[in-house]
Structure 1
């Protein structure tokens, strides 16, 4: 149903004359007559009766009027729901305890007036597709991936290089070290059941293994971080990698250790991705906020895979 015709009908019904309706709508009287006639053909009824005093509603016109007004209200609400700046900024952070979630919490504290809708998408392809379709406004990812260049309409900027730390229980052979080198990790079992093939973090750890001869095991079901901490605390032969900004809490009796890794220091590159023509004003605010917080990347003594975009 043509909403312009419905709007014209409502105005004509309220003012009682097609000429006055034309003046209010800034169209010609002929345009008003054509719109009303088209609406009557769509509905299959007469809506107005012409009288010497103007135009009066027929019984069908009277019945249709409240519904026509509701149609216009619904249309206005629909437009308002997607009007620039009127909806929350929707951002994918991958996981609730990771660095990206922390960056968004910092943003919320700095800009509490900005409405946010935080989601967690698993796969980079799904996230990029959601950006391009407008389902989300931005996502945090390590970009790009081998053989997977970003689409031309998607832009990225590197916002955080997060150091990886070795996470061990109290009985692990490296538990008392103040730091460990990559060479010292060779031969130790590093258990990471959350690695999913085809994800950007899966590609990251594949390259880490290839570059330094590490042993990373992704066997067994992933029951989440609490189960991972339980197992690492109780198993002297196992350790895991954890981002330095990953928020974790464990019982004091576990005696878990976070140990810096050096020579080189592996860092996980977090980038913000968005569609180039996304007009949401809060997206520009988020980008400016992250630019103000971002430290340098590509520092001497650090390592990232060769496919990571260096900007």
Structure 2
């Protein structure tokens, strides 16, 4: 059923004049007449009777009118639900305990009451899958980095969001457990276990570059049973350590006695990007990127991977690129 024909019928019934309905709808009176005639053919009854003053609904038209109003209202709500700025921002994060989710929640808490935000996880290790989801409109943005610019769809762009400094996470029996800070050089003799490194993922390339840059032993041997299992292993081990983001949220039993130790000289940082459409992005994304511009900047002595599409933000340099 043509919703514009139904809309024309409703306004003509309410105003009693085809000409007034046409003026309000921004079309000619002839167009309104044709729409209503087509609608009458579709429903199989006459909806209007001509009068000296204009038109008025027939008995069938009166019966049809409240349903027609519902059709028009439903169509208007459907359009409004996808109009930019009218629907919730739908954004993909790697995990609900990640720095991405932590800072996203901090941003949401700055927004006016009633601001909608739909946080999802695509469960895709390959960032090209996330880029395809942005391109298809399945999500408005995704926290992913496509490290090969040639693999980024032409209608999807990548903006630097923030960089997350890394910390060493160890159990109480680990040789470095008492350190207030460690350097990458001190990490060389120790096994750094990062289970769940997926081939082709951005973090796989990150850890490859990190290991090569500092001669570290980073491995993902064995199955990944989740964060809780990883924390249990660290608590029981005297030789296994892992790296976590400084803003990532991890919760463990007090008896585990785990230590989070900053890595310095240089600080190791993981750059986090946001994939979003090149044209007509959700209007909330501008405010989100502006919020990330206020995240604590990195120190001068920092190591970042060699991804050419990511520009680290320094003190005094706002914005996102």
Asked if Structure 1 and Structure 2 have the same fold, meaning a TM-score greater than 0.5 normalized by the shorter chain, the answer is yes
Q: 1:231 to 1:161 in 2, by over 3 A?
A: same
Match of 2:128 among 121, 125, 129: 125
> Are 1:65 and 2:68 counterparts?
no
What does residue 102 of structure 2 align with? Answer: 102
What does residue 166 of structure 1 align with? Answer: 168
5 Å matches for 1:110-189?
110-113=110-113, 114-123=115-124, 124-141=127-144, 143-146=145-148, 148-189=150-191
Runs of 5+ in structure 2 lacking a partner?
A: 312-320
SS state at 2:31 partner = helix
What does residue 276 of structure 1 align with? Answer: 278
Runs of 5+ in structure 1 lacking a partner?
A: none
Distance 2:65 2:227 in 1: 59
Q: CA-to-partner distance for each residue in 1:242-261, whole Å, 9 max, x for gaps?
A: 11111222223222122233
Q: 1:54 to 1:263 in 2, by over 3 A?
A: closer
Instruction: Report how far residue 20 of structure 1 moved.
Output: 4.2
Query: Could you tell me whether the CA contact under 8 Å between 2:162 and 2:293 is conserved in 1?
Result: no
Q: CA-to-partner distance for each residue in 1:56-91, whole Å, 9 max, x for gaps?
A: 444543443222111101001111212232222222
Instruction: Report how far residue 205 of structure 1 moved.
Output: 1.4
Instruction: Report how far residue 46 of structure 1 moved.
Output: 3.1
Query: Could you tell me whether the CA contact under 8 Å between 2:95 and 2:121 is conserved in 1?
Result: yes
Distance 2:85 2:272 in 1: 26
SS state at 2:263 partner = strand
Distance 2:296 2:146 in 1: 19
Q: 1:219 to 1:45 in 2, by over 3 A?
A: farther
Distance 2:240 2:119 in 1: 33
What does residue 33 of structure 1 align with? Answer: 33
Distance 1:30 1:210 in 2: 75
Instruction: Report how far residue 279 of structure 1 moved.
Output: 4.9
Most deviating of 85-94 and 223-232: 85-94
Q: 1:26 to 1:255 in 2, by over 3 A?
A: closer
Q: CA-to-partner distance for each residue in 1:207-227, whole Å, 9 max, x for gaps?
A: 223333333232333232222
TM-score, with normalisation over the residues of structure 2?
0.84
Distance 2:108 2:202 in 1: 26
Query: Could you tell me whether the CA contact under 8 Å between 1:266 and 1:302 is conserved in 2?
Result: yes
Instruction: Report how far residue 263 of structure 1 moved.
Output: 4.5
SS state at 1:293 partner = coil
Distance 1:41 1:67 in 2: 17
Q: 1:58 to 1:288 in 2, by over 3 A?
A: same
Query: Could you tell me whether the CA contact under 8 Å between 1:189 and 1:237 is conserved in 2?
Result: yes
Q: CA-to-partner distance for each residue in 1:161-196, whole Å, 9 max, x for gaps?
A: 222122111222332333333333334222222322
Most deviating of 101-110 and 42-51: 42-51
Distance 1:6 1:193 in 2: 59
